[in-house]
Structure 1
Amino acid sequence: MSRERELKEIAGDLRRYYEFQKEMGVKRVFRERKEEAAGDRRETEYPRREETVTPKRTVAREDRGAAQNEEIISVPEQMGMFDSSSKIMPLEEIRKELMERMSSRLFEGSKQIVFGEGNPKARLVFVGEAPGRDEDIQGRPFVGRAGQLLNKIIEAMGLKREDVYISNIVKSRPPDNRTPTPDEMAEWEPFLFQELRSINPDVVVCLGNTASQSILKTKASLGSMRGKFHRYGKFKVMVTYHPAALLRNPNFKKPLWEDMQQVMKELGISRPGD
């Protein structure tokens, strides 16, 4: 690539970044602190961590809520099925097992299972609740209008869709796009947990209240959960609004972007010109 073309691409990236920030209603540009920026940054290829977690607070499924500044620690029920010596399955093996075990469990009217997609070694994973109409047709997660907005959010973070991993808890479209029940989500959740074990991300972003409550095993509101990191087993979790909510209510754009700035800081991501 010529130097001139490279500079044009950088300029285009910056323009899209600042246009997105303006759209999000953000007036202050995110910057890393110098002492943090000077530290070593982890590459996409990073060492696997031991599957251990020391919870500050364990939240049972019956938990009624969370204080505004309280970290929620969720210990997945299926976590006890695996110890540190358990085989971590490649994503393709997880997909194959999912097809074999759950193809008969598709919701009425659902065309196919929609498995996650993206970088198998991604440091950042986005998780929604279930596929919608467009996803059911194409067999890919987040490809409708909400998915297009998610792509913009990812690009504004200085990443590409192929840099991250995108999935849903439930991998079959519920009838009329209804919200999956807790029992339905619990039935599919082990496969999401297997995906996360395989990818071993630094941060998991839960999109929307349904996915967040299901993963964190809590009835706390999204407003009380967002803006800080929680734990799902050993994985750091950031809760934020589903992109579909932003399409209905633009007022959610700014808080979502503030959440993504925290994720960027955690991952050591800085935009060109920041």
Structure 2
Amino acid sequence: MKEELMRKLEERIRACQRCPLGQLRTNAVPGSGSYNAKVMFVGEAPGYWEDQEGLPFVGRAGKILDGLLETIGLSREEVYITNIVKCRPPENRDPTEEEIRACAPYLDSQIDIIRPKVIVPLGRHSMGYILRKFGFEPEPISKIHGKTFEAYTLFGKVVIMPTYHPAAALYNPPIREELQKDFMKLRELISSFS
């Protein structure tokens, strides 16, 4: 059932023309991983390599994410990874409000189908959208990364734990340390659901 719903949703994403990015992409990037994942990571938008391959987090930031997952004993196959915007903005610029609004219903559907226990927004744009969606007021990511927010959905409780986007660690090495600490908190959070 989940597989069928996600396959149909992914087809709609790949054919989408809701915003101008649909005209510019090589590939839309619906997401990848387990449709039964307890943990869902939500980045901001695909970059160059993601656009080429149609998969999320396959560039340099993806290698950082893979390393962070490994440190807490998880693989990509056990989690679900997606972005708030499914097509690459030109020159890897930040997604616009219009692009986020056009694309957000796909993310909402992915959350409803997967029903994760934990959502980890990666970066300020996904953090802002996810927190507002569940009724929280976002603050600067430097202030709230690693904190948890409990929300209630039609499928039960979900915990939101924002953190920095792994790409930020490429340009600002101290952020890598903060990411590692946040992932350790994530590990504790996951073990509480086992």
- TM-score normalised by L of structure 1: 0.62
- Counterpart in 1 of 2:183? 260
- Counterpart in 1 of 2:143? 224
Q: What's the % identity of the aligned pairs?
A: 36
Question: Matches of 1:219 and 1:168 in 2, distance apart?
Answer: 18
CA drift at 1:106: 5.0
Change (3 A) 1:188 1:250: same
CA drift at 1:226: 1.4
Kept in 2, the 8 Å contact 1:207–1:239? The answer is yes
Question: Matches of 1:245 and 1:109 in 2, distance apart?
Answer: 25
Question: Matches of 1:131 and 1:232 in 2, distance apart?
Answer: 27
SS at match of 2:105: helix
Q: Of 149, 164, 172, which aligns to 2:87?
A: 172
Gaps of 5+ in 2: none
Kept in 2, the 8 Å contact 1:95–1:115? The answer is yes
- Counterpart in 2 of 1:156? 71
- 1:114-263 equivalent positions in 2, closer than 5 A: 114-217=29-132, 218-231=137-150, 234=153, 235-263=158-186
Question: Matches of 1:251 and 1:158 in 2, distance apart?
Answer: 23
Quote the RMSD (CA, aligned, Å).
2.0
CA drift at 1:96: 2.2
Kept in 1, the 8 Å contact 2:19–2:99? The answer is no
Write 1 or 2 for the structure with the bigger share of helix: 2
The aligned amino acid for 1:92 is R
Gaps of 5+ in 1: 1-86, 270-274
Give the number of the structure whose alpha-carbon radius of gyration is greater.
Answer: 1
The aligned amino acid for 1:136 is D
**Deviating more after overlay: 154-163 vs 213-222:** 213-222
The count of residues paired between Structure 1 and Structure 2 equals 182
Question: Matches of 2:152 and 2:27 in 1, distance apart?
Answer: 29
Kept in 2, the 8 Å contact 1:182–1:214? The answer is no
Kept in 2, the 8 Å contact 1:112–1:172? The answer is yes
Kept in 2, the 8 Å contact 1:129–1:169? The answer is yes
Structure 1 outlier segments of 4+, above 2 Å: 87-90, 96-100, 103-106, 231-235
Kept in 2, the 8 Å contact 1:155–1:161? The answer is no
Kept in 2, the 8 Å contact 1:122–1:165? The answer is yes
